[in-house]
Amino acid sequence: MAPARRDWQPIECHGPMMGAMDTPPPGPSKAVHVFRPGLRFAPVALGLAALVHGARPPTHEEERVDFRRDIRPILSDRCFPCHGPDEAARRRAGKIRLDRFADATADLGGYAAIVAGRPEESEVVARIRNGDPSERMPPPDSKLALTLEEKEQIERWIAQGAEYEQHWAFVPGERKPAPSVERASWPRDELDRFVLARMESAGLAPAPQAPRETWIRRASFDLTGLPPAPDEIDAFLADPGEDAYETVVDRLLASPRYAERMAADWLDLARYADTYGYQNDVESRVWPWRDWVIRSFDTNLSYDRFVAQQLAGDLFEEPTREGRLATAFNRLHRQTNEGGSVNEEFRVEYVADRVHTFGTAFLGLTLECARCHDHKFDPLAQTDYYGLFAFFDDIDESGLYSHFTAGVPTPTLLLSEAEDDRRIALLQERISAAEEELADLSLPAFDLQGLAGSFSFDTLQQDGVLFSPAASEATGRPDDAPLGVEGRFGRALELSGENNASFPGLAEFRRWDPFTFSLWLRLPDDREPAERAVVLHRSRAWTDAASCGYQLLLEDGRPSFSLIHFWPGDAMRRRLEAPLQPGVWTHVAVTYDGSSSAAGLTLFLHGVPAKSEVVRDHLTKDIVSGGDLVLTLGQRFRDRGFVAGRVDELQVFERCLGPVEVELLYAGRRGKPDGTMAPGGDGVDGETAAWLEAAQRLQALRAELGQLVDTIPEIMTMVELPTPRVARVLKRGSYAEPGAPVEPHTPDAIFPFPKDLPKNRLGLARWLTDPGHPLTGRVAVNRLWQVVFGRGLVETSENFGSQGTPPTHPDLLDTLAHDFVDSGWDVKALMKRLVLSATYRQGSRPSSKARRLDPDNRLLARAPSYRMPAEWLRDTALFASGLLVEKIGGPGVKPYQPPGLWQEKNGQVYTPDTGDGRFRRSLYTYWKRTSPPPAMMIFDTGKREVCVARRQTTNTPLQALVLLNDPQFIEAGRALAARAFKEAPASDDERLAYSFRWLTSRRPTAPELVILRELLDEQRADFTAHPEEALAFAGEAPGGIDASDLAAQAVVANMLFSFDAAVTKR
């Protein structure tokens, strides 16, 4: 039968064709060419295609095509956007799937995309060879194309059987035997044999060993972020033994500087900043978490525990304060309080950020690509994304932080000191005893004493004041509220939803103060109860999460009462189970005993305790925020008022009334002023006086405890909800389009979730650190390799998926990952192993052959050479000059920066620190997300808005200008010059060599010294001629030093900061 061809037709389809996200291309949509199964089958003859395109049939003598190395990258780049894991994209493109053998070779009605061993019958070959643009794959309008060599490679692969292999990163790694090498004496560690074998296979040889000064400088920067001091270099050079290298490494690893250096990289991954971000970008007090990271690296906390504590330290069987603090990692994303923002929208964004950070930091995968649809390149379904989302969705948080009042977004951890804990425990013990004492006393019949305010709304004085007969003389003022409506007793106050009545000076309760509210309510009978209606409150605004205070709401007609420090995680709320009957007057009372517990909060209907549910029961801090807040009936800013609702007979008491007294209020009794309540007052018997004294002692103790706790700072952490939130697949990733519910789960294609693990964050952490997990060990080892060598064995350390770069040394990566896990995830041990290797000891100068065959040094035939990061440059200047203040931890500091930057962003003013704050390590520099330190940004630090696994490296003129003109470097230059005069007073050459060695870790060569001396002489002459400029530049010179000499030496030191040997790690 003569071969024929399929009648392939272009059809119109809309939606994403390329890339990992769904951003539509600009301009009008175009027709997309798709596979259409079910049409007449007539394959194109391979011989004809080969004749036309010059291809030749594969032969058995040819080298075998490797799927992972040769084919998968082609398919991933050119085919997977439409014919990969994304099911929706496949539906639009003919349902052909090419990322799995079974799908690619499936019978599609008399034909198949791939026929193993028979490229001439494979539709893929016919389509990539087709000369007709309307039938060719990839279609021309995709802007993708295959080279002739790639087409031939695909044909050879099919001819050889079209063997598929799973993507390397999803296959569990195994420890590989070290390969044999020709230069058997060169390796110092097993890892060197892997590196050397790869070199030798490419015809390369290792670079000569680096000079000792170069090695100790390299190791010191890589392990501490600071250069070696001259005396440390001398001690190393004086010890010719091989053990000298290990001695240096052990000293560096034991230094707290090592922990600070390692923490700096982790802050990029954790998107750490001192502010929330977005438009207001106010301060977020999270530096205690940064200090936890430093302590963890200093104590060499095992990596698996380091990860598990950050993911789920609160869920350990016996959680510690350090473990709970570690979970702040999950809360370091940006947060907003912008007016008009939707709470749930941003809460979903925060959870999504945790998922993305989890993927980048621990899995090395772009999970965000599966938020809106199945991942186009990796086997990650959208349901897998929301399965991970469900793990991070179960905390009691708000999508908005406070706009009006100070407050830390909940849930939080109190950062108490040991003395605080001792005082808290003592007060809690005394409170328990006082509660028992009060319970043993009989409750006296107070006859409704303790009244603070009473309002019948029957009369309105001429000045618009609502009269109160209470002894406190509290008054209320209506805001456009009609009073002439019929009430339960006489007249009542009717509210419109937009008006209110306020009561200044009344009911300014703290969380430890007992109180009672009593009032009659009538819901309108001409409408359904509103989803939400404000009856009574003392707070600022509904949408303000930290609007401290209390409130009585109607939620679908059900009364609920709340005391709030920061909603929802630091608050208390009870809500009635049944709604009020519309059109009927109902007596509602609320009593609270000051205990900060929902057990002490009771809601009454018609004088009887009503069935209610506890909505929240975690109140730890005060409910007063200061300012001009007043008790208000009705409308609240940014909230929904009590539309057409009526209120009558409002009474406020400064004590918790008993059930009998509440029943009296329902019966129509009025309260008495609190002036008659004092122990020993008129008409107070001994039994009543004893009860009063006990109650006052209890309240005083609760107040003392509350005031102590209010002074203790707190930090955002993770705490599971008592009842897990139901996570759902969000259509197109939108919070407003929830779909099917989804259980917490992990992608099976990566690593199955063990059945014996809990489906919470702790289970997720255990899954992640399972020794058999194919990604965790590799990703961690690759990142540590990146720390030492500047680039990972997988260059795309953020992406181990199909679109990432494959490892340059896959067997080495697997072996190191296996050994790392086997060592107990020992980070210091691995760092030591890397820096003591022969690979690390190489010089950085490439041979001509290496420069030609491997210009990017992927085969590691030399040590890397690159410009140092911002932190190292600034810290080196401070360290060499003697200005560096080596204090560990504490709040962020504010060194010099140009004025006006903050003000331009959001009106805030940057005030530089004075004293030691200017000279701390860059790790501690205050990080404002909308205006990061400009000098550090110029040297490629990120904004810390999202998780970043590797920084980009640029070289621009601005960097030289910073090193020459930034006040921090100018000041360091002056100090280094003064230090040189003190430490090397003999001659100019000694001082020049002293400064040079501090910054480059070696002595200057003779030609370099000549250049430095010429510059020094030139500057000295200029300053001698202009002594006022010398004084202005260098300040008052120390005794015995000529001001012109000091200023000239400072200019040279300042120039050395930008010298290539000073800014480059070699």
> Mapped to the 3 state alphabet, what secondary structure does 546-578 carry?
CCCEEEEEEECCEEEEEEEEECCCEEEEEEECC
CA-nearest of 510, 497, 470 to 650 is 470
Instruction: Say if CB 631 and CB 534 are below 8 A apart.
Output: no
Angle at 996 between CA 991 and CA 999, to 5 degrees: 130
> Strand 601-605 and strand 646-653: pairing?
unpaired
Phi, psi of 313 (to 5 degrees): -60, -25
Tokens of 367: 């999970």
- From residue 63, alpha-carbon distances to 70, 115, 157 in Å are 12, 20, 10
Give the separation between CA 222 and CA 841, rounded to whole angstroms: 13
Tokens of 426: 């003592």
What residues in the chain have per-residue pLDDT under 70?
A: 1-62, 92, 443-447, 460-475, 477-484, 543-547, 671-684
Instruction: For 476-502, give the secondary structure using H, E and C.
Output: EEEECCCCCEECCCCEEEECCCCCEEE
CA-nearest of 507, 514, 452, 441 to 701 is 514
Instruction: Say if CB 814 and CB 808 are below 8 A apart.
Output: no
Instruction: Say if CB 625 and CB 495 are below 8 A apart.
Output: no
What distance lies between CA 96 and its chain's CA centroid?
38
Which ranges of 99-188 does DSSP label H, i.e. alpha helix? 101-104, 123-129, 148-159
Strands in 570-576's sheet, in edge-to-edge order, are 477-479, 500-503, 631-634, 533-538, 549-555, 558-566, 570-576, 612-618
Give the separation between CA 999 and CA 1012, rounded to whole angstroms: 14
- Residue 628 pLDDT: 79
- Residue 96 pLDDT: 84
CA-nearest of 943, 940, 949 to 804 is 949
Looking at the DSSP bridge assignments, the partners of residue 842 are: 209
DSSP string, 398-443: -SB--SSS--PPSSEEE---HHHHHHHHHHHHHHHHHHHHHHHSPP
Quick check: bond before 568 cis, omega within 30?
yes
- From residue 553, alpha-carbon distances to 353, 454, 538, 583, 636 in Å are 33, 20, 12, 17, 11
* Type of residue numbered 328: A
- According to DSSP, residue 1016 is labeled H
Indicate the fold that domain 449-677 takes in CATH: Jelly Rolls (2.60.120)
Give the separation between CA 770 and CA 933, rounded to whole angstroms: 39
Angle at 795 between CA 791 and CA 800, to 5 degrees: 135
- Residue 583 pLDDT: 94
Quick check: bond before 411 cis, omega within 30?
yes
Exposure letters 1007-1025 (e unless 16+ CB within 10 A, then b): ebbeebeebbeebbeebee
- Residue 301 pLDDT: 99
Give the separation between CA 123 and CA 44, rounded to whole angstroms: 8
DSSP string, 745-756: ---TTT-PPPTT
Instruction: Give the DSSP H/E element, type plus range, for residue 5.
Output: none
The model's pTM is 0.89
Instruction: Give the DSSP H/E element, type plus range, for residue 1066.
Output: none
Give the separation between CA 94 and CA 83, rounded to whole angstroms: 9
Looking at the DSSP bridge assignments, the partners of residue 322 are: none
Residue spans of the domains in the chain: they are 10-165, 449-677, 965-1065
- Residue 45 pLDDT: 34
Quick check: bond before 138 cis, omega within 30?
yes
* SS3 call for 621: coil
Give the separation between CA 842 and CA 118, rounded to whole angstroms: 49
Residues 6+ apart with CB under 8 A from 425: none
Exposure letters 214-238 (e unless 16+ CB within 10 A, then b): bbbbbbbbbbbbbbbebebbebbee
- Residue 546 pLDDT: 57
Span between the terminal Cα atoms of the chain, in Å: 68
Give the separation between CA 186 and CA 170, rounded to whole angstroms: 33
Phi, psi of 586 (to 5 degrees): -125, 130
What distance lies between CA 1029 and its chain's CA centroid?
48
* Tokens 């109607």, located at residue: 554
DSSP string, 814-876: HHHHHHHHHTTS-HHHHHHHHHTSHHHHB-SPPPHHHHHH-TT-TT-SS---EEPPHHHHHHH
